Structures are given as structure tokens and as C-alpha cells.
Structure 1
Amino acid sequence: MSGKRVVKLPLQQAQAAKILEETAKDTSKLIFTNHAEERMNERGITRIDVIRVLCKGSIVEGPSLSAKGSWEMRVEGMSAGSSLTVAVAIDYKILEESSCVAIVITAF
């Protein structure tokens, strides 16, 4: 056995939260869409704010399978004394947690 953790489907909140925390800590696995960057700039939200919420926040909606095949969810948490919501998707190439990436869709 290789010791790799397999993504169980359907993706449960506990596993999604763990994947989000791990991907947020390895920013090479964290992707911000152009839409997210634009909205973050408009709203004064930094990448660090988003990373904090992904690491320490709570999934309040989802994960649900999107039409694109990724798992989308809303995460709420606090950063710099303010409440923040991040819409994020988990995508993967193969069904192993180590292959997952988190795609930030928007933040508000």
C-alpha cells in the first residue's frame, strides 16, 4: 500500500475542509480566477485573507458536484477582524488528496 489518501466520493465536508487547509498551505495548489482577483481588489480582500478563511473557516454550503466536475463550496471565516465568505472549488487529476487543487471563484 502506498499510503496515499484517496478522495472518497461523494466528497464530504470533513475531507473537503482538510483538502482546503492543505492546498491553502501549499500556494502552488491554490488558483485564483480572474473574477476572484477583480472582486477581491474591489472589496479590499487580500490573498492572505482568503488563505486564512480556507485554513480556519467553516464550510457552510456544499461540497456539491459542479457541471465542470469539480466540488464547489462556500467557506466562511474571519480575517483581520472581518467576516469573509470564499466560494471555492476543489479539482483533481486523480482521486488522491495530494493531486487536488483549490480554485478560488470569488470572495466577499
Structure 2
Amino acid sequence: MLPYVKQLTRVLSERLGWNRARMKLMARLMRALPMQTTTNLAQLAHAGKPQVETDSTYRRLQRFFAEFAFGYEALGRFLLDLVPTSPPYLAVLDRTEWHFGQTPVNVLGSC
């Protein structure tokens, strides 16, 4: 496991209390997302753990998103904990519309 994934797993475990397999999967996903130009799970599966068969990791990601209910309040607190506590701050808004299956998802439009 890459050092960056180990660090993310440790940070996730300190704040979210998920089981280790879910934390490692989320850490790999967080590492893979910035490296990809898409949110396609098949491509993220390959980027997240290239030494494992892509189909296996793809099914694992599908189960993660289909069966696991996020504690959005805890996840929000975790994300806020990652924000620097002293200025200067930089805020960035992204109006990208994603699709979850056939359903359009626009976070700014649904707030």
C-alpha cells in the first residue's frame, strides 16, 4: 500500500470509525480521483489498485456506494477538519453536473 493511502487510512480511522476495508477503499478512491479525468468507477478501480483485477475492485466500489450509508454529518466534520485553521483561505466552487446512473446530480443546484 502506498504511503499516501496509509496516511489517508489513518486519518479516516481517527475521525470516521469505519471498518478497515472501507477506510482503505475510500483512501484509494481519494487518491485515484485527482489522477483521473472522469468519475467512471471502472477507471477509478484500475487507478486505485492497479495490481488487482479491475473487475474485482469495480464490484467492490459498486457495493461500497450501493450498500454503505454515509454518516454525512461525520463526513462533513471530517472534511472541515482537513481545512487549514489559519488564513489565507481559498474557496473554490465547481458547478459540474454529475450523473448517478440516469439521475443528474448538481450539488450547488440542490442546496
Do Structure 1 and Structure 2 share a fold, with TM-score over 0.5? no
Highest Rg: 1 or 2? Answer: 2
TM-score (norm 1): 0.28
Higher relative contact order (CA 8 A, sep 6+): 1
Comparing both structures, which one devotes a greater share of its residues to helix?
A: 2
Compute the TM-score of the two structures, normalised by the length of structure 2.
0.28
